[in-house]
Structure 1
Amino acid sequence: MEHLDTFMTKNVKKQIMGLIIIFILNTIMAIVFTIANKSLVTESLYNVIVALRCINLSIQVLALLGLIFEKRILAHLSILLCLSISLSIVTLFPSSNNLIALISVSVTLILIQLILSTWYENRKVTLALGIGTVLYLNIFAAFEPSHPSISDYVDKTLYFSIIITLNYLLIMISLFNVALMMSINRATGFIKNLIYIDIKTGLFNERQFEHVLSKAITEQSKLIVLAIDLSNLQELNHHFGYRTIHKLYVEELSRIQSLMLPYGSTYKLDGPVLAYIVPSDQNSLIGSKTNLAEIINQLESTKFYETHEIHFKYQMLATQYPQDGINPSQLIDNLYHLKYSNTPSINSIRWYDQRSFDQLKRRIQLEKDLEQAIQSGDIYIVIQPQVTLKDYKVHGAEILARWRHPEYGDVSPNEFIPIAEQMYLIDRLTEHIIKEATVIHNQIKEINSDFKFQLAVNISASSINGKLDHHFRELTHPFEIEITESTLISLTENAKYTLGYLKAKGFTIAIDDFGTGFSNLEYLHALDVDVLKIDKRFVDSMMNSDKALKLVEALIIMAHTLGFNVVAEGVETKMQCDVLAVFDCDIIQGYWFAKPMLPEQFITFYKSSNDFN
């Protein structure tokens, strides 16, 4: 939005341009009148008057051009010069008729008063112009009879009546201009309060901060934008109510302003965010760890409301020009990003980091595009084979979701699955994956109808707890349902019943990433688990750590003791494979045998991979 001062300046410029155009037309009429009445004056005087009026017309045009092209000094000087010339012409070279001469002077004085009062927009200047024009008119009227150029006089009674009328007119115009300037000043002040002042706190608001910051950027090669945010506002509002907290917060502002006085004026941004502009010559204030630590400690405060203690907690945010942004909008957006991000603090300040902002921007874009990606098929499946260690035969495969984003390329499921859960799209995504898995399962059955090939599908706890249980119950193919260990605790009784029903139909249950979650054996017993999948992190670390090696061995022994099959994930070397074989691991999955592949590639792979020796 355009700043009010700029808007008012443009508005005044338009008004002055209109008045100057009227002035130009008046001068042109005066030139035409002089030429038409050439016989009334001597030839030498006629030439002087016409020349002066033409010069004046040129200066008026120059003033108009100065306004159009925003050359304020040129326009100002041109206006003053043309007004002076106009008044000199009607005073020194009046018409031969005293009434016409008087009216000419009056019209010129009125134009002078209107143009200058509009230009300066000051009631004192307007009042001085009013008094000056009235005095000038009466002085001219007093000395007019002795002027050598005037020879035609009207009746004295009529003449004095016209003088009184013109005085009255000038006085009314002067009073009107003064009243208008006072009203404009009051209205401008009121509008500024509405537009640039935060009504609830009395501080300058974000729009004014943006304007001041814009000016500071043009004057400074480097600067820092500092902000103080009441970080626990939402919690306080929830417990004590908005009105109570706002009242206490307003009381806090004077204390905060005094603490932050070395950092300049305080500006109120959106929410409980107070902003400051620190020029480059004061950056030492920011670098002083002691100063900031003391301010942070002093900002923390406790208020008492009735019988409650209310603790205000603050965080300090900072972004730099020009490293983090080159205009006010970017710098202010950086502060808001810091407010809602988890950027760590350095020397008591949370500094803006472009990388974390890009990550947030990426997440927002992924949230926006995810639903459409599910509908359009941009989320597709890949399949990674699972191989038995005893005979190196393909035992089954795990269905993995992938997203090929038009802007970001391949997006990991570790990134978009949590987004799908947060946006309540996980059920639709799971249903889409199960349908794709069913197609693959049918193709495998056509190749080998006797072989009990199982496809493993990752299912979130929210999907099993939700409406997809009906969809599971309609499936006839015995999939392996993988549930991460960390989600076991969130399964509802209905979800456990659904898993039991599916298990009775031939489905198997696998615990994915075993060893990274709660490791509660009661859940394993309650769900009648079939398979434990050892997380890739354990497989990676067992080659470098005796403890990890013993842990993997112990997990395999425990699983076999409980009657579970064991799948080791992330097997990438022959040495890992040999160690797992010694530990009697049942199945392995990893890049050592095959990377995840597209469905058509997997079908070809399955047909040709009876033996991996």
Structure 2
Amino acid sequence: EWLTISAVSDESGQVTHYIGGFTDLSQQKQAEEHIQHLMYYDALTNLPNRTLFRDRFQQCMVRTRRSNDHTAFIHLDLDRFIKVNDTLGHAVGDQLLLQVGQRLSKNIRPMDFVARLGGDDFAIAVPALMTRAEVEVFLEKIIDVFAEPFCIAKREIFLVPSMGAVMYPDDASSYDELACYAETALQYAKRLGESYQFYNSSMNTDADERLNMESALRRALERDEFRLHYQPQVDVSTGDIIGVEALLRWDRCDEGMVMPGRFIPLLEDTGLIIPVGEWVLRRACQDLQTWLSEGGRPVPVAVNLSPRQFRNRDLVRMIDKVLEESGTDPRLLELEITESSVMDDPEFAMQTLQACHERGIRIAIDDFGTGYSSLSYLKRFPLDVLKIDRSFVADVPEDDDDAAIIDTIIAMAHRLNLRVIAEGVETAAQRDFLREHGCDWVQGYYFGRPMPLVDLLPCLQKRANRPARGGAVKLQ
């Protein structure tokens, strides 16, 4: 309580008496304490926040210097957590974060401490260590923590963490450097698809190169540096070209041709895949019109859709716009998607695929056999083509296991009225094996490397007078 005393005077100004009053400050005190708590603790999980973690870690650094041992700074985030939020709602997402915080807190030593940095990012301090091997044991333990599902509203949800680890004092001498390096290691782990990575100085070079490449990619569209090359898809029985796949290339002004494996993941990570993907579709349709006008066969052009593109709610609208503006028959467009793209959000995938199929667009599952490979989705979704991943083709006919897998995929696909195309065919023996086992179409260096449109045109023109069969479309 707060006591206030006021003097009461008469008409002459003499104090005659005093009045005291008590004010209940309990609510004000509670409010102040709550504000003070929020300055240092996360409102959702009640874990230390970034400010308190920094303060505690710096105290830990002092003790580490005195004891001549090591302290690990671990930055953890949850893979695909945004997808959970978007699909199940933020209320479920908040409950998940709360349970993650509780589970982490229960599985660390009394001397360790965990904080929520914001979003789905957590930090863990692990002091009193002597070797990196001890940190690896700890990281494996954290992975095990996520092995069991999280239960929210009678729903089981599995989460996968990614972690970056940095050691004090070996890797850095200040908190800010440690925090930066831990995040660098985390992002490195995510790019490699691994559960965790320890920081090393070479990652800084990689990070610099990544930033430079990202800046160059953002300018590449404006500078017209992207190119499309086309790889023929061939009827294995007749040798006719029944389609082509459009493959993105980057002719960087200061470096020359950049391999797709270096820049396509970066396009996906940064979201640049959306405008670049639209450019690919638009250019492929324009090129298709070019070869038709010059007497080429009316065969479909296959365009790859990345997971991020496929999740874009404006995808179908964008496709309609490109088809209309280019004057392209939808039957001459094939969209290639991966198994994981379909299974990320099956309900949305069904709506998107049905909309495309109703327009006459052909749908292919790319790299089949490397993802979910679930018969249920093959039956549920409106699909036309399965593409057998090149990893199964590489060692046939010598490898009996791969041969059996290919045989099974072909038989299964045909029972579901799907066509099968095998990727990565490089030898006559592979072609013969696939033909003997009933594969419909093939694609690979044996039949032609990816080539620019100017080199593709003669291949399509010299077969233009043959009767349309297989993948060719009869245009009215």
Instruction: Please tell me the TM-score bracket, short chain as reference.
Output: 0.5 to 0.7
Letter paired with 1:380 = R
358, 361, 366: which is aligned to 2:213?
366
Per-residue CA deviation, residues 244-274 of structure 1 (Å, 9 max, x unaligned), is: 67447645655553343254999x9xx9999
In the other structure, the counterpart of 1:515 is: 369
Cα distance in 2 for partners of 1:596, 1:519 equals 27
**Is this contact kept in 1: 2:242–2:300, CA < 8 A?**
yes
Aligned-residue identity in percent? 27
Q: Tell me the secondary structure at the aligned position of residue 585 of structure 1.
A: coil
Cα distance in 1 for partners of 2:136, 2:368 equals 47
Per-residue CA deviation, residues 71-99 of structure 1 (Å, 9 max, x unaligned), is: xxxxxxxxxxxxxxxxxxxxxxxxxxxxx
The alignment status of 1:463 with 2:317, answered yes or no, reads: no
**Is this contact kept in 1: 2:234–2:240, CA < 8 A?**
yes
In the other structure, the counterpart of 1:381 is: 228
In the other structure, the counterpart of 1:550 is: 404
Q: Tell me the secondary structure at the aligned position of residue 376 of structure 1.
A: coil
Q: Tell me the secondary structure at the aligned position of residue 341 of structure 1.
A: helix
Segment of structure 1 superposing worse, 586-595 or 497-506: 497-506
The alignment status of 1:502 with 2:352, answered yes or no, reads: no
Cα distance in 2 for partners of 1:372, 1:491 equals 32
Letter paired with 1:466 = R
CA 1:495–1:314 in structure 2 vs 1: closer, same or farther (change >3 Å)? closer
Greater relative contact order (CA < 8 Å, ≥ 6 in sequence): 2
In the other structure, the counterpart of 1:582 is: 436
In the other structure, the counterpart of 2:62 is: 257
Cα distance in 1 for partners of 2:402, 2:278 equals 37
Segment of structure 1 superposing worse, 536-545 or 481-490: 536-545
Shift of 1:517: 1.2
Shift of 1:601: 1.2
Greater helix fraction, Structure 1 or Structure 2: 1
439, 449, 453: which is aligned to 2:299?
453
Letter paired with 1:352 = N
Cα distance in 2 for partners of 1:520, 1:253 equals 50
Q: Tell me the secondary structure at the aligned position of residue 377 of structure 1.
A: coil
Letter paired with 1:463 = Q
Unmatched runs of 5 consecutive residues or more in structure 1: 1-235, 275-285, 301-312
Cα distance in 1 for partners of 2:374, 2:199 equals 41
**Is this contact kept in 1: 2:70–2:168, CA < 8 A?**
no
Shift of 1:439: 1.8
Shift of 1:561: 1.3
CA RMSD, 1 decimal: 4.4
The alignment status of 1:406 with 2:253, answered yes or no, reads: yes
The correspondence of residues 462-501 of structure 1 with structure 2, limited to 5 A, is: 462-464=308-310, 465-474=312-321, 475=323, 476-477=328-329, 478=331, 479-491=333-345, 493=347, 496-501=350-355
Letter paired with 2:441 = I
Cα distance in 1 for partners of 2:241, 2:265 equals 31
Cα distance in 1 for partners of 2:306, 2:285 equals 18
Shift of 1:541: 3.5
In the other structure, the counterpart of 2:471 is: none
Shift of 1:387: 0.8
Shift of 1:584: 1.3
Q: Tell me the secondary structure at the aligned position of residue 221 of structure 2.
A: helix
After TM superposition, the score normalised by the length of structure 1 is: 0.48
CA 1:424–1:544 in structure 2 vs 1: closer, same or farther (change >3 Å)? same
In the other structure, the counterpart of 1:317 is: 167
Cα distance in 2 for partners of 1:265, 1:591 equals 53
Per-residue CA deviation, residues 112-151 of structure 1 (Å, 9 max, x unaligned), is: xxxxxxxxxxxxxxxxxxxxxxxxxxxxxxxxxxxxxxxx
The alignment status of 1:572 with 2:412, answered yes or no, reads: no
Shift of 1:571: 0.7
**Is this contact kept in 1: 2:164–2:199, CA < 8 A?**
no
CA 1:540–1:357 in structure 2 vs 1: closer, same or farther (change >3 Å)? farther
CA 1:265–1:532 in structure 2 vs 1: closer, same or farther (change >3 Å)? closer
In the other structure, the counterpart of 2:393 is: 539
**Is this contact kept in 2: 1:318–1:350, CA < 8 A?**
no
CA 1:599–1:248 in structure 2 vs 1: closer, same or farther (change >3 Å)? closer
The alignment status of 1:432 with 2:279, answered yes or no, reads: yes
CA 1:289–1:569 in structure 2 vs 1: closer, same or farther (change >3 Å)? same
Q: Tell me the secondary structure at the aligned position of residue 566 of structure 1.
A: strand
Cα distance in 1 for partners of 2:257, 2:42 equals 42
Shift of 1:539: 0.8
Q: Tell me the secondary structure at the aligned position of residue 563 of structure 1.
A: coil
CA 1:419–1:365 in structure 2 vs 1: closer, same or farther (change >3 Å)? same
Letter paired with 1:336 = C
Letter paired with 1:490 = D
Shift of 1:514: 0.6
**Is this contact kept in 2: 1:427–1:468, CA < 8 A?**
no
In the other structure, the counterpart of 1:89 is: none
Shift of 1:473: 2.4
CA 1:492–1:473 in structure 2 vs 1: closer, same or farther (change >3 Å)? farther
Shift of 1:289: 4.3
Report how many residues are paired.
340
The correspondence of residues 298-317 of structure 1 with structure 2, limited to 5 A, is: 315-317=165-167
Cα distance in 2 for partners of 1:525, 1:265 equals 55
Q: Tell me the secondary structure at the aligned position of residue 596 of structure 1.
A: coil
CA 1:289–1:578 in structure 2 vs 1: closer, same or farther (change >3 Å)? same
Cα distance in 1 for partners of 2:357, 2:137 equals 58
**Is this contact kept in 1: 2:185–2:199, CA < 8 A?**
no
In the other structure, the counterpart of 1:340 is: 184
In the other structure, the counterpart of 1:605 is: 459
Shift of 1:435: 1.5
In the other structure, the counterpart of 1:204 is: none
Letter paired with 1:454 = P
**Is this contact kept in 2: 1:440–1:599, CA < 8 A?**
yes
Unmatched runs of 5 consecutive residues or more in structure 2: 1-40, 74-116, 118-122, 142-162, 190-195, 467-476
CA 1:257–1:424 in structure 2 vs 1: closer, same or farther (change >3 Å)? same
CA 1:338–1:409 in structure 2 vs 1: closer, same or farther (change >3 Å)? farther
Letter paired with 1:506 = G
Cα distance in 2 for partners of 1:396, 1:420 equals 26
After TM superposition, the score normalised by the length of structure 2 is: 0.60
Per-residue CA deviation, residues 327-379 of structure 1 (Å, 9 max, x unaligned), is: x99xx9798345422578xxx9946242x333322222222222321232211
The alignment status of 1:529 with 2:373, answered yes or no, reads: no
